[in-house]
Structure 1
Amino acid sequence: MERIILEDLAFYAFHGVHDEEARLGQRFHVDMTVHADLSKAVASDHYADTICYASLVKTIEEVVTGGRFNLIERLAGAIADAVLAVDPRIDTVDIRVHKPGAPLPLSTGHVSIALTKSRG
């Protein structure tokens, strides 16, 4: 099983429980690993035999910027569901959503959620 890895995709969105998060918004960063059988692409070197990276990025962007979630846990789940729907060859998706501007009682650090979802 091969993997496509997308790292540190940044989007501006309005997720969070607090009113100011909905009003002001903040950056969210997404890392994703897609597990799929890409052995045909490895052998053929043909674009049609792989999964389009741009379509994966566009799918993530639509989920992150297209709605509002209170929890990044739910955001990660929605991303995973949407990515699994992109291509039937995708078997498993690992998602990590970083919320660097989370309201923490510290001057440094950030919050992340990691989620793995498989087809079926």
Structure 2
Amino acid sequence: MDKIYLNGMGFYGYHGVFPEENKLGQRFFVDLVLETDLSPASQTDDLNKTVNYAEAYKKTKEIVEGKPKKLVETVAEMIAQQILDQFSIVQACTVKVTKPDPPIPGHYKSVAIEMKRCRDE
């Protein structure tokens, strides 16, 4: 299976368990790995036979900058499902959501979750 990577997409959202996270917001970074067969696109040079990166970015941005969620797990799940729903050629989607400088005791560079969702066939 071929892969498309969208790395380090940055957004500002209001997700988190603590009230200050929902009020002040924070940065989030998202990485996507989209698994598909890129042969039709590479052989025809046709954008319609691959994933339009701008559309995948736009969908991710809508979710991360949209309605606040308590858990980044929920945000990642929503992104994966939207990608699979919008792009029928994508067979699997791995989403990594990173929260830099989380408001938890101790000094942490970041926390992140990663999940992979596959198309049911």
The bucket for the TM-score relative to the shorter chain is over 0.9
> Alignment partner of 2:15: what SS?
coil
TM-score by structure 2 length?
0.94
Identify the residue that residue 73 of structure 1 maps to in structure 2: 73
Q: CA deviation at 1:108?
A: 3.8
2 CA distance for matches of 1:48 and 1:78? 24
Percent of pairs identical after alignment? 36
TM-score by structure 1 length?
0.95
Q: Structure 2 stretches of 5 or more lacking a match?
A: none
Greater Cα offset, 104-113 or 5-14: 104-113
Identify the residue that residue 104 of structure 2 maps to in structure 1: 104
Identify the residue that residue 15 of structure 2 maps to in structure 1: 15
1 CA distance for matches of 2:82 and 2:93? 10
2 CA distance for matches of 1:49 and 1:110? 36
Query: In angstroms, what is the RMSD of aligned CA positions?
Result: 1.0
Runs of 4+ in structure 1 displaced over 4 angstroms? none
Q: CA deviation at 1:101?
A: 2.6
Q: Structure 1 stretches of 5 or more lacking a match?
A: none
Q: CA deviation at 1:77?
A: 0.5
Q: CA deviation at 1:107?
A: 2.9
Count of matched residue positions in the alignment of Structure 1 and Structure 2 = 120
Please list the CA deviations of residues 90-119 of structure 1 after superposition, one character each: whole Å capped at 9, or x if unmatched.
100000000003112223411000000011
Q: CA deviation at 1:88?
A: 0.7
Please list the CA deviations of residues 74-98 of structure 1 after superposition, one character each: whole Å capped at 9, or x if unmatched.
1110110111111111100000000
Identify the residue that residue 46 of structure 2 maps to in structure 1: 46
